[in-house]
């Protein structure tokens, strides 16, 4: 759903982006007009609230959770159904999730997941967001953790 909306927005922006005005000879050049893709990215929220994500998961919506914590951290439990790709491996493994409909990255507190979502968006995965507050916020809402799958 979000991927479709982002595609529509990008299509509209690409088709209606105004051309940069010509700079007068006697004045400095006009500032560069922002790229449509950059505009679309800035319009999309990159952080998702824990309450919203939990409600959507509880309602059975197809949200893909991406745990970017280290194996030592995930040993203490993961959000059920999460895909485990530590942040330091995401650069090499991001293609494993690039075609998922909606991706919510999470970590312990939200900083690494924000970097992960940003990195994914830079690679064209515009449906990636970061779980605001990470696992800590998830647990505060009563969200459950389960043991990670054995390797």
Of the candidates 45, 59, 53, 50, the one whose C-alpha atom is nearest the C-alpha of residue 129 is 45
Those residues whose C-beta lies under 8 Å from the C-beta of residue 38, and which sit 6 or more positions away, are none
| Mean pLDDT across the chain | 81
Those residues whose C-beta lies under 8 Å from the C-beta of residue 106, and which sit 6 or more positions away, are 65, 66, 67, 68, 69, 79, 82, 113, 130, 131, 134, 135, 138
> According to the model, what pLDDT value does residue 150 have?
82
Domains and CATH numbers, the chain: 55-142 (3.40.250.10)
Q: Which of 57, 66, 107, 135 is catalytic?
A: 107
Average pLDDT over residues 56-65: 93
Report the relative pairing of strands 128-131 and 47-48 from DSSP bridges: parallel
**How many Å apart are CA 5 and CA 96, to the nearest integer?**
22
pLDDT in tens, 95-108: 999 999 899 999 99
Of the candidates 105, 9, 101, 124, the one whose C-alpha atom is nearest the C-alpha of residue 48 is 105
Look up 107 and say whether it is catalytic.
Answer: yes
> According to the model, what pLDDT value does residue 22 have?
44
> According to the model, what pLDDT value does residue 101 have?
87
Average pLDDT over residues 137-147: 94
Task: Find out whether 98 and 125 touch, Cβ atoms under 8 Å.
Answer: yes
**How many Å apart are CA 145 and CA 143, to the nearest integer?**
7
> According to the model, what pLDDT value does residue 15 have?
54
């Amino acid at each position: 759903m979000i991927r479709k909306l982002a595609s529509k927005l990008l299509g509209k922006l690409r088709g209606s982006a105004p051309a940069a005005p010509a700079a007068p000879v006697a004045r400095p050049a006009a500032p560069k007009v922002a790229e449509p893709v950059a505009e679309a990215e800035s319009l999309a929220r990159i952080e998702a609230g824990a309450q919203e994500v939990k409600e959507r998961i509880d309602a059975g919506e197809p949200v893909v959770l991406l745990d970017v914590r280290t194996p030592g951290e995930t040993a203490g439990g993961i959000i059920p159904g999460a895909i485990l790709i530590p942040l330091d491996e995401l650069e090499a493994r991001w293609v494993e999730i690039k075609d998922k409909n909606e991706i919510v990255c999470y970590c312990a507190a939200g900083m690494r997941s924000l970097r992960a979502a940003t990195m994914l968006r830079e690679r064209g995965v515009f449906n990636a967001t970061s779980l605001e507050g990470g696992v800590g916020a998830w647990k505060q809402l009563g969200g459950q953790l389960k043991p990670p799958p054995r390797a």
